[in-house]
Structure 1
Amino acid sequence: MKARHVLILFSMLCTFSASHAQSTPTAPAPAAAPPATELGMTPAIKNYCDKLEKSFKRYGWDKSECETFKWSHYRNSVLGDPLMWTVFGDVSDEEQPSFKDKDVTIVMCGVHGDEITPVKFCFDLMYYLREAYSNPDKLKGEFHNKVVLVSPLVNPDSYFKARPTRVNARGVDPNRNFPTADWQKEARKIWLTKLRRDKRKNPGERPNSEPEVVFQVNLIKRYNPDKIVSVHSPLTLLDYDGPSIAANNGLDGVKAHELLNQMSKDASGYNIKDYPFFPGSLGNWAGQERNIPTYTLELPSADPRKSNEYWKLFESAMHKVIVHSLRQDLAKAPGVTDTHEPGKEGVPAIPGTSAN
């Protein structure tokens, strides 16, 4: 009986407490930290950053600080890793006419997973840019109206392998799969004959079939960059694809070639070579067909022990890439929307196409 009375009394007290709590104002709780998704840190990206951290340790590098960057991610690799980029500069007016006044640079690394040093190179660039863009004086000065997008690992599936490879998880070379005008006629023909089915240069069964290529295509279409830098190894050269000096009475390409020469000069006279472009290559698709100045920086080796050395060699050159404005000097071809290409990165794909 006593136990029953105790239970009744306890129930009455709980009811009174709940009623009192509802009628009595309380101090607001401390503001919660924004959810990880607002910071670009989704579970998929967290897992990716963990894998990246292990690779940095494997190669004897300092911590990647991957989780400290704000990432954008809409598309996955063949094996499901996020294909990501991070932005430096103001893109809040991306859909407004004012965005056209900004000088946009896209830098991509890790297109071929067995080219190890470019991945660290892009992260070194990101550390540099983070510091630069946190400096109010620089933002008012040489970095004013400059936007930089960095994708440090375009082909994560091949990079994260125990033995990294050039091709992606489906055995396709991401730099031979771009939907260039000559792809249908030449890409597989060259691969089957001249290249004798070289597995490292496989262009795939059809153009733009690989998510790593769709990612690059859509990133370029979305931001319409003034210049692109794709970092590779180990050919020890600077290559340029884009508007020529001779075109349009010498007006197009002048500033772009000035930048090429300045990059070489700032990197102790680094070798400039007119390397051929291929069916399905970035230089062909972006530089030749769309008149976007496209620079291929081939580092001297893929030796991870040389990574710091390579960044020091090109730090000044990459600074010049970003602050060297091409917008007023180059007539870029208008954006091309092909029916076989998904929409811009971060925008829903055309119905019937795969976002992968």
Structure 2
Amino acid sequence: MNFIELRSGTSVEGADIHAYRSDVKGDNYLYLLGGVHGDEVEGVYVLNHLFEWLKTDEAQELPIVVVPILNVDGYRQGTRTNAHGVDLNRNLETTNWSAEVRQAKYHPGTGPMSEPENKYLDKLFNKFPPKQIITFHSWKPLLNYNGDCKEIAEFIEQFNKYPSEPDVGYPTPGSLGNYAPEKYKCPVLTYECPLIAEGKTLKEIWDENEQGLKAIMNSDMIKNKIKY
């Protein structure tokens, strides 16, 4: 599959935010998103390997947008937040957005959509409408589905044995899991990878996810959902 590099976004510190679109055009797109939290290297690693495989898989015909690392400043600095100290996954303009700072690492920003990284992501959504988003994070093994994508989570669960859950157990105001279903009627699968601090290597984390991710990308389930 061939990918075209899109016009990059710009982070708080002026770094490029890279994004790529497959050369299969569609009315709607599958988004693969990584590095919303800069310290979650496990999710970035898994998405990077998935992206490299997609580039070599000639059978792929899906309209896809890939953003390998949204929070490029945080990734470079090893921080959850961006260079403003804002959690990008609490900064989106949702009906439940809250200015309350429960902890510094969850800082929602001065207002919803205040951060350039999220503004760039939303520009992509407007130009290439999302139909399904898979966003790669790191925490504990979990497939958190928001909106109509339970079947995708359960399909992947058959391979990696990560539990599928509709809720992470605490409120996430301003998160992508709330934002995309509200504004774009687009379901979000938040794909939580285990932390290397728990004992697995990055390669082992990819190895336990490779089969399921390749299978879902080749499935009629995902093709029918995108309906390109």
- Greater Rg, structure 1 or structure 2? 1
Q: Does 1:173 align with 2:87?
A: yes
Q: Which runs of 5+ in 1 are unaligned?
A: 1-68, 92-98, 243-252, 332-356
How many residues are treated as equivalent by the alignment? 221
CA displacement at 1:215 relative to structure 2: 1.8
Which residue matches 1:109?
A: 34
Q: Secondary structure at the match of 1:299?
A: strand
Which residue matches 1:90?
A: 24
Q: Does 1:207 align with 2:118?
A: no
For residues 141 and 89 of structure 2, the distance between their equivalents in structure 1, rounded to whole angstroms, comes to: 18
Matches within 5 A, 1:135-214: 135=58, 138=59, 143-144=60-61, 146-161=62-77, 164-183=78-97, 187-189=98-100, 191=101, 195=102, 198-214=103-119
> CA separation of 1:318/1:326 partners in 2, compared to 1, >3 Å: closer, same or farther?
closer
**Correspondence for 1:232 among 134, 137, 141:** 137
For residues 208 and 218 of structure 1, the distance between their equivalents in structure 2, rounded to whole angstroms, comes to: 12
For residues 178 and 56 of structure 2, the distance between their equivalents in structure 1, rounded to whole angstroms, comes to: 34
**Correspondence for 1:262 among 130, 141, 155:** 155
CA displacement at 1:287 relative to structure 2: 2.6
* CA RMSD, Structure 1 to Structure 2 (Å): 2.3
> CA separation of 1:302/1:115 partners in 2, compared to 1, >3 Å: closer, same or farther?
farther
> CA separation of 1:306/1:287 partners in 2, compared to 1, >3 Å: closer, same or farther?
farther
CA displacement at 1:302 relative to structure 2: 4.4
Q: Does 1:284 align with 2:218?
A: no
For residues 315 and 327 of structure 1, the distance between their equivalents in structure 2, rounded to whole angstroms, comes to: 19
For residues 305 and 321 of structure 1, the distance between their equivalents in structure 2, rounded to whole angstroms, comes to: 24
**Correspondence for 1:274 among 136, 142, 166:** 166
Question: 1:187-220: CA deviations, max 9, x gaps?
Answer: 113x2xxx2xx11000011110101111222222
Q: Secondary structure at the match of 2:88?
A: coil
Maintained 8 Å contact 1:157/1:169: yes
Question: 1:273-327: CA deviations, max 9, x gaps?
Answer: 2224522100000134532120001101045972111222112222244334457
Q: Which runs of 4+ in 1 moved over 3 A?
A: 302-305, 323-331
For residues 323 and 296 of structure 1, the distance between their equivalents in structure 2, rounded to whole angstroms, comes to: 19
Where relative contact order (Cα < 8 A, 6+ residues apart) is larger, the structure is 2
* Residue identity matched to 2:99: R
Q: Secondary structure at the match of 2:64?
A: strand
Question: 1:213-266: CA deviations, max 9, x gaps?
Answer: 112222222211221011111221110001xxxxxxxxxx3xx32211101112
For residues 116 and 329 of structure 1, the distance between their equivalents in structure 2, rounded to whole angstroms, comes to: 29
The normalised TM-score by structure 2 is: 0.87
For residues 329 and 236 of structure 1, the distance between their equivalents in structure 2, rounded to whole angstroms, comes to: 24
Maintained 8 Å contact 1:106/1:149: yes
Q: Secondary structure at the match of 2:9?
A: strand
For residues 72 and 6 of structure 2, the distance between their equivalents in structure 1, rounded to whole angstroms, comes to: 15
**Correspondence for 1:294 among 188, 206, 209:** 188
Matches within 5 A, 1:270-349: 270-276=162-168, 278-303=172-197, 306-324=201-219, 325=221
The normalised TM-score by structure 1 is: 0.57
Which residue matches 1:76?
A: 10
Maintained 8 Å contact 1:113/1:166: yes
Question: 1:23-75: CA deviations, max 9, x gaps?
Answer: xxxxxxxxxxxxxxxxxxxxxxxxxxxxxxxxxxxxxxxxxxxxxx7532332
Maintained 8 Å contact 2:130/2:184: no
For residues 313 and 206 of structure 1, the distance between their equivalents in structure 2, rounded to whole angstroms, comes to: 39
For residues 122 and 7 of structure 2, the distance between their equivalents in structure 1, rounded to whole angstroms, comes to: 15
Identity across aligned pairs (percent)?
28
Q: Secondary structure at the match of 2:204?
A: helix
> CA separation of 1:214/1:127 partners in 2, compared to 1, >3 Å: closer, same or farther?
same
Q: Secondary structure at the match of 2:108?
A: coil
